[in-house]
Structure 1
Amino acid sequence: MNLECSDPSLWKEALSSYSTRIQSLDKPNLISLDHFYCNQLPPILHQRNPNPYITTTELSTLMQWKLTRGKWRPRLLDFVSSLDEVLVKSTSQKAFQSLPDVSKAVSELTVLKGVGPATASAILAAYAPDLAPFMSDEAMEAALGNSKDYSLKQYLLFADKLQTKAKELSSEDDTFTPSDVERALWSVAVGAKINPSKTSKRKRKS
């Protein structure tokens, strides 16, 4: 399934398989990390109104989630775990206050060592899933045809496509967010790796 698919029932099915796909990866701590990222972190951030922020410990756990769900890059975890608490708080406050300007919000966050556009997108997606989807390799591949470019420019293209798809899929009865679209695309990609025979193999674009 890619962004051209316009059948909401297929998207719902893909989204509903997300937790099963997380379990199927059988990676240490991924289930608890995903629970933290999807269910615990968002309300924590929103309870800190009027100036929401993320802490270094929360950012470190978010990074563990990102690296465990995707590619493991231990140096990134070392970088964010040693960031100054005051700096992380003030930087994330500025980023959240920049929304709905996603470009500015990402730029604010990427001043932190170890935080590139992909990690910045994960922080923003936890706070504003209706605006900023996480820049996962699997969803990037499905939306743009490649997942090698982690630039801000590429992320903005990606976010725009997922925002458009979310609006298209939403109705009075169901609301899709760009983050829902990302999780659905990720679920389909992971499912295809687990059961390649059940998925028609699309030619990968470089």
Structure 2
Amino acid sequence: MAMPEPPTQGNRFTSIEPDQFNTLLNDYNHAVAQKLVELDEERYTTIPKRLQEQPTGSATLSKEEVATLVDWKLAHGKFRPTLRSLVQQNDENTIAEVTRDAFASYDKSAKDARAAKSALAALTKLRGIGPATASLLLSVFDTGNAPFFSDELFRWCMYEDSKGQGWDRDIKYNVKEYLELYDKVHAFKERFRKAFDRELSVVDIEQVAYTLVKGSVDSQTGGEKADGPSKKRKVDSKNDDDEIEEKKKANSKVAKSAPKATASIETTATASESLRRSARRQK
């Protein structure tokens, strides 16, 4: 896949102004493949609206909604064929309980990265849900203030004109990076509010970042839109947040089972020594 064009001075995260912001925001629908429109409707309208209609403190996501959001994430970003199956291993009651606790612990009025930290910690208890996917679940609950940890938004926020610091910047997909992103996005919102008397949602900023990256790439490839994974596409998941989360959980299970394994080895060794002593006495 071709590398997106570097942002111009007018497209920089720190200096973009309303006219160019509006142009990119309006072009979002052209940057998304037609086949993804239905998923966009679920992610940006249907699911957030249903959450807003639920009583305060009792909002939850269903298993089907979480699966839909994961499908949306895969369709718009890196393709991981195993992710949906991991998420499906969570049962309906667990998803309801975890999302209820996470949303109840999150203060929409705080507008501070610390408000998101406990919510992310709760959401990542679900199988297959790492910090980036957890931020997506939080974003549909608070579309105004909780940004989705997308590759495009993170790299636009952090963009620098040097190798490995631009669109090719490595992402660790950890909570620390998300909290940094959260604060930068809110600083962006505050700049627009003060300088242009304009209130932005984090969804607006997310979509502008997506257009800036995908639209730039599409213009280099003759207008071909990202239509999901190609048969020839190499699946890149070495830094994916969900894979990292699964490895952590797997390592934790190994660590917990290690003492038992050690005890088993020691028991076997003791038994062997007893047999040798018994054999010597018989001689």
TM over 0.5: yes
1:107 aligns with 2:114: no
TM-score by length of 2: 0.65
In structure 2, which of residues 47, 62, 75 is the aligned counterpart of residue 68 of structure 1? 75
The answer on whether the counterparts of 2:51 and 2:60 sit within 8 Å (CA) in structure 1 is: yes
Equivalent in the alignment of 2:179: 156
The answer on whether the counterparts of 2:36 and 2:75 sit within 8 Å (CA) in structure 1 is: yes
Equivalent in the alignment of 1:35: 41
* Partner amino acid, structure 2, of 1:187: T
Cα deviations by residue, 1:120-164 (Å, 9 ceiling, x for unpaired) = 111111110222111111111111243521000001101110111
Q: Which runs of 5+ in 2 are unaligned?
A: 1-10, 108-114, 160-168, 222-283
Cα deviations by residue, 1:92-112 (Å, 9 ceiling, x for unpaired) = 011111213111111110010
* Cα displacement (A) at 1:170: 3.0
* Partner amino acid, structure 2, of 1:67: L
Equivalent in the alignment of 2:133: 119
The 5 Å alignment of 1:53-202 reads 53-100=60-107, 101-145=115-159, 146-170=169-193, 174-196=198-220
Aligned length: 193
Equivalent in the alignment of 1:9: 19
Q: Distance in 2 between matches of 1:134 and 1:115?
A: 13
* Cα displacement (A) at 1:168: 1.4
Cα deviations by residue, 1:78-98 (Å, 9 ceiling, x for unpaired) = 111231111101110111112
Say which SS state the counterpart of residue 66 (structure 1) adopts.
helix
Q: Distance in 1 between matches of 2:184 and 2:105?
A: 21
Query: Alpha carbon RMSD of aligned pairs, Å?
Result: 1.7
Percent identity between the aligned chains? 27
Q: Distance in 2 between matches of 1:190 and 1:150?
A: 20
* Cα displacement (A) at 1:173: 6.0
Q: Distance in 1 between matches of 2:26 and 2:199?
A: 14
* Cα displacement (A) at 1:179: 2.3
* Partner amino acid, structure 2, of 1:32: E
Larger C-alpha radius of gyration, 1 or 2? 2
* Partner amino acid, structure 2, of 1:15: L
* Partner amino acid, structure 1, of 2:54: R
Q: Distance in 2 between matches of 1:175 and 1:20?
A: 24
* Partner amino acid, structure 2, of 1:89: A
More deviation in 46-55 or 138-147?
Answer: 138-147
Q: Distance in 1 between matches of 2:170 and 2:37?
A: 24
Q: Distance in 1 between matches of 2:99 and 2:170?
A: 26
